[in-house]
């Protein structure tokens, strides 16, 4: 059994775009049999919550450097480059699970 990954899903207000991305990431993980805890946050909370998480997925620009891998996922909103960002997320999860 692969390790369950803890994922922060962030946007500016933690109210609109992260809600959409949460669902997309949930579906992506389900399709790929990845077990994950998804936590919806405001990007401002990411720095303090990163210690309990393996991966950050955000729809905003990243205001700082994080110790965990961070992926920008506006593609889920615009529909442009969705396959690329999905691959990026799956690669990051693979790396986390093999660490």
Partner 1 sequence: MSDDTALKVSDYLREPLILLNTSFNNTDELFTGVNEIAFEKGFVTDQFLPKIKARESTFPTGLQLEDRGVAIPHTDADTIKKEFVAIVVNQQPISFKRMDDPESTTPVKVAFVLGLNQPHAQLEMLQSLMGIIQDKAVLDKLETASNKQEVQQILN
List contacts with partner 1 (CB under 8 A): 11-17, 19-20, 22-23, 40, 43, 59-61, 72, 74, 76-80
Q: Name the residue nearer to partner 1 (CB basis): 23 or 94.
A: 23
Helices then strands, counting H and E runs in the chain, come out as 4, 4
Are the C-beta atoms of residues 78 and 30 closer than 8 Å to each other? no
For residue 90, the SS3 value is: helix
Radius of gyration (Cα) for the chain, nearest Å?
Answer: 12
- By beta-carbon proximity to partner 1, the closer residue of 55 and 59 is 59
Q: Which is nearer to partner 1, 16 or 87 (CB)?
A: 16
Distances (CA, A) of 8 to 15, 44, 57, 80: 14, 12, 6, 22
Instruction: Tell me the closest approach of the beta carbon of residue 20 to partner 1, in angstroms.
Output: 5
Min. distance of Cβ 99 from partner 1 in angstroms? 28
Q: Shortest Cβ distance from residue 63 to partner 1 (Å)?
A: 9
């Amino acid at each position: 059994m692969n390790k369950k990954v803890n994922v922060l899903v962030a946007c500016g207000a933690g109210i609109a775009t992260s809600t959409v991305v949460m669902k997309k990431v949930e579906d992506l993980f389900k399709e790929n049999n990845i077990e994950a805890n998804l936590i919806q946050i405001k990007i401002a909370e990411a720095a303090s919550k990163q210690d309990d998480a393996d991966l950050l997925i955000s729809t905003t620009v990243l205001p700082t450097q994080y110790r965990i891998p961070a992926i920008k996922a506006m593609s889920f909103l615009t529909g442009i480059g969705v396959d690329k960002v999905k691959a990026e997320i799956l690669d990051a999860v693979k790396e986390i699970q093999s660490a």
